[in-house]
Structure formats: structure tokens, C-alpha cells
């Protein structure tokens, strides 16, 4: 079975893996820490800065603009600005903290503080 990232996956893989990802993230997020206080304007500004420096290359720039790497991944990294995510904030926190293996999404929990993760998650959750 080919494992190339530049060819379309088999139909079963394209259907099964997103379902498994959603179920895993939802289960782990439900068992995680509850959300803290609502973000302040300063938190959102700091989160936008973190997003721009750490996330935009793969997920797209705030206010539009191409992503340099994300479209070439398998599965492609979602273009986040301009597209509301269906993940809850606790699910986003789970994804950002622990990453998603074999996708290019790193685990930021070892690189960002919990507060900074909460800030960037607050920004991503507010994209429309």
C-alpha cells in the first residue's frame, strides 16, 4: 500500500481516519482540564502573535494569505483563518498541546506555556 503524501489516499482511509481523529480528540478533551477565564483583549492580541509566528506557515495568515507548507501535508493542514472550526476550545487545546502524529502537526505543549496555548486556542476558536 503506498504511503506517499502526494497521492490521494484510498477511500476507506479518507473516511476512517478523520472519524478516528474526531473520536480520539473528543474523548481526551472531555477528560482534560476545564477552560479557564474568558480571554482578555491582551490575551487575544498575544494569541494572534503566537499564531502568526508558529501556526500561519501551515494554517494560513490572519486576514488571508497563502500557507507556505500546510497544503503539501497529508492530510493537508486546514486553512484556519476565514473558516470556523468544528472543534471546541477544549478539543483545540488538546490538539495544540499534543499534536497529531504522522500529520506534521507538532505537540506545542513542550514549546508553549499553558497560558500561551490558551491564548492561541482562543484566537483560532474565534476565526470565521
- The model's pLDDT over 20-77, given as tens digits with 9 standing for 90+, comes to 989 999 998 888 777 778 899 999 999 999 999 999 999 999 988 777 788 888 888 9
In order, the DSSP letters of 32-74 are SPPP-SPPPHHHHHHHHHHHHHHTHHHH--TTS---SSGGGSS
3-state secondary structure of 23: helix
* pLDDT higher than threshold 80 for residue 4: no
Is 67 in contact with 57 (CB distance < 8 Å)? yes
- Specify the pLDDT at position 2: 73
* 38-125 topology per CATH: Cytochrome Bc1 Complex; Chain D, domain 2 (1.10.760)
- Specify the pLDDT at position 58: 94
Separation between Cα atoms, residue 118 and residue 113, nearest integer Å: 9
- Specify the pLDDT at position 69: 86
- Specify the pLDDT at position 72: 86
- Specify the pLDDT at position 97: 95
Q: Where are the domains of the chain?
A: 38-125
φ, ψ of residue 100 to 5 degrees: the values are -135, 110
* pLDDT higher than threshold 80 for residue 94: yes
Amino acid at each position: 500500500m503506498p504511503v506517499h503524501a502526494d497521492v490521494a489516499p484510498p477511500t476507506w482511509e479518507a473516511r476512517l481516519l478523520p472519524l478516528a481523529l474526531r473520536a480520539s480528540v473528543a474523548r481526551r478533551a472531555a477528560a482534560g482540564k476545564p477552560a479557564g477565564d474568558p480571554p482578555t483583549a491582551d490575551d487575544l492580541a498575544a494569541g494572534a502573535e503566537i499564531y502568526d509566528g508558529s501556526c500561519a506557515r501551515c494554517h494560513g495568515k490572519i486576514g488571508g494569505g497563502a500557507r507556505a507548507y500546510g497544503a503539501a501535508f497529508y492530510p493537508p493542514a486546514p486553512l484556519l483563518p476565514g473558516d470556523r472550526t468544528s472543534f471546541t476550545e477544549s478539543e483545540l487545546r488538546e490538539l495544540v498541546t499534543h499534536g497529531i502524529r504522522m500529520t506534521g502537526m507538532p505537540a506545542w505543549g513542550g514549546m508553549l506555556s499553558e497560558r500561551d496555548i490558551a491564548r492561541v486556542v482562543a484566537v483560532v476558536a474565534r476565526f470565521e
